Amino acid sequence: MARIPNRKFSPAEVDRRTGFHSMRDDYLNQALKVVIDPNLLVNLVSRRVKQLRRGGRPLIESLEKLSLEDMALREIFEGKITWEVPDDDVPAGS
């Protein structure tokens, strides 16, 4: 693994060097009000970003250029994406 020098990077440099994007805090906080469980939110955003990368159409319109992660967060807190959590009491295959 390449070692990154110990200095501050702009968000664009972080994307280029690590492939990670820092999501907008305001979008993240709004999405956490809708999806209380942070682990579930991570899974929802991850799956939606994969869909968008594979050519899925955005469910929102934006005048500003958003990253795919921010677009997924906005879709979640605007209610454009729904999800179901399986009931743990029902055994699989029943």
Over residues 32-66, the pLDDT tens digits come to: 999 999 999 999 999 999 999 999 999 999 898 99
Residue 11 has pLDDT above 80, yes or no: no
Three-state DSSP class for 70? helix
Q: Dmax over Cα atoms in the chain, in whole Å?
A: 55
Three-state DSSP class for 77? helix
Domain regions of the chain by residue span? 21-77
Residue with tokens 């500003």: 64
First to last CA, the chain: 46
Alpha helices by DSSP H, listed for the chain, are: 11-18, 25-34, 38-53, 68-77
Q: Would you state the pLDDT for residue 58? A: 95
State pTM to two decimals. Answer: 0.70
